[in-house]
Amino acid sequence: MTSIPLMIDLKNKKTVVIGGGTLAERRIRTLLEGEASIHVISPEIRSTLYSFFKQGLLQWSEKKFVPGDLKDAALIIVATNDSEINQSVVQHAPAHAWINAVERASDGDVHFPSYFKRGRLSISVSTGGASPTLASKIKKQLEEQYDDSYEAYLDFLFEARTLLKESSLSHEKKKTLLKQLVIEDFMDTEKQKEMLDWLNKY
Ligand SMILES: C[C@@]1(CC(=O)O)C2=NC(=C\c3[nH]c(c(CCC(=O)O)c3CC(=O)O)Cc3[nH]c(c(CC(=O)O)c3CCC(=O)O)/C=C3\N/C(=C\2)[C@@H](CCC(=O)O)[C@]3(C)CC(=O)O)/[C@H]1CCC(=O)O
Ligand SMILES: NC(=O)c1ccc[n+]([C@@H]2O[C@H](COP(=O)([O-])OP(=O)(O)OC[C@H]3O[C@@H](n4cnc5c(N)ncnc54)[C@H](O)[C@@H]3O)[C@@H](O)[C@H]2O)c1
């Protein structure tokens, strides 16, 4: 399988999760960050998922999977501990839907990478299924390199870039400044303020 990384906005997109165990919970935690509309189909669900259900964060149908459950799904997470059921879900998935198959990734077409966020900065790591453990290890190393301070720095870069785009500065000057913002030491909040004040004049 050849995959490409893609950032996706799942807000209000119908996501059907078949199964309510450990793996379903891991996927649902990620999906909740993306504000997806989540519908869990499973005769039993873990207590954490039950509390999400009680808080109104997801819908839950307390029953076994039937093919009609997949109607209108944009994304389907196949996460039961029964291989035959998992295969049946994949077989009945509508052609338009994306599938994440936790038991055997190659049965689906979407992978979940290891990732972390620092505000607007997202860093994700995938090993193409070779070693999720290595992906997790690399992520931890990058988490140290790109620490919490990057959140504020990214907010600054966003604001500065927005001001630059709207400014009357020449195209060449804009290009030079965009490069300088990441080459020079603009992690310093004093320097950030000076730059924003300067940009606000143009
Ligand atoms: C990153 C992370 C995100 C997450 O799952 O949320 C993730 N797996 C994590 C952990 C982990 N998973 C497994 C172990 C046990 C040790 C080992 O095997 O190494 C550990 C280690 C642990 O638990 O710490 C076992 C395992 N994983 C997969 C299979 C099935 C298969 O290979 O087909 C099996 C065997 C199942 C079995 O035993 O039967 C498949 C996948 N796991 C993926 C992601 C996708 C590929 C990512 C990549 O390309 O690197 C993919 C394809 C799933 C998908 O996206 O659909 C998360 C790290 C969280 C973090 O960031 O800390
Ligand atoms: N991708 C990964 O990283 C990874 C890691 C470990 C395990 N796995 C695989 O993921 C699968 C799920 O593991 P788990 O630990 O979440 O299992 P689990 O036992 O915690 O949960 C299984 C869930 O499936 C539900 N279920 C069973 N039959 C069903 C049916 N007919 N319809 C709807 N729901 C049904 C159960 O009610 C339960 O909620 C296993 O097959 C395992 O091999 C994947």
Condensed to tens digits (0 to 9), the pLDDT of residues 151-181 reads 999 999 999 999 999 988 899 999 999 999 9
Q: Could you tell me which residues come within 8 angstroms of residue 177 by beta carbon, excluding any fewer than 6 positions away?
A: 160, 164, 169
The residue behind tokens 């935690």 is 29
Question: Which atom of ligand 2 is nearest to 23's Cα?
Answer: 16
How many A from CA of 19 to the centre of ligand 2? 6
Q: Is the CB of 23 under 6 A from ligand 2?
A: yes
118, β-bridge pairs: 121
Question: Which atom of ligand 2 is nearest to 103's Cα?
Answer: 9
Q: What pLDDT is attached to residue 169? A: 87
Q: What pLDDT is attached to residue 184? A: 73
Q: What pLDDT is attached to residue 31? A: 97
What predicted TM-score, i.e. pTM, was given to this entire model? 0.90
Q: Are 60 and 49 in contact (CB under 8 A)?
A: yes
Q: What pLDDT is attached to residue 1? A: 65
| Pairing, β 114-118 against β 121-125 | antiparallel
- Tell which residue, 147, 154, 144, has the closest CA to residue 192: 154
Mean pLDDT of all residues in 85-91: 98
Mutual orientation of helices 171-183 and 149-166 as an angle, nearest 10°? 170
- Give the pLDDT confidence of 95-146 residue by residue, as tens digits: 999 999 999 999 999 999 999 999 999 999 999 889 999 999 999 999 999 9
Pocket test for ligand 2, best of 25, 70, 80 (most atoms within 8 A of CB): 80
Q: What percent of the chain has pLDDT over 70?
A: 100
| Residue 48 reports pLDDT greater than 70 | yes
Task: State the DSSP string of 121-145.
Answer: EEEEE--TTS-HHHHHHHHHHHHHH
- Tell which residue, 15, 22, 40, has the closest CA to residue 99: 15
Q: If you average pLDDT over every residue of the chain, what do you get?
A: 95
Residue 75, classed as helix, strand or coil, is: strand
Q: Could you tell me which residues come within 8 angstroms of residue 185 by beta carbon, excluding any fewer than 6 positions away?
A: 191
Q: What are phi and psi of 75, to 5 degrees?
A: -135, 135
Amino acid at site 74: A
Residue located nearest, by CA, to atom 2 of ligand 1: 114
Q: Is the CB of 25 under 6 A from ligand 2?
A: no
> Predicted confidence band at 91 (pLDDT cuts at 50, 70, 90)?
very high
Q: Is the CB of 139 under 6 A from ligand 1?
A: yes
| Pairing, β 59-61 against β 75-78 | unpaired
Residue located nearest, by CA, to atom 56 of ligand 1: 111
| Residue 66 reports pLDDT greater than 70 | yes
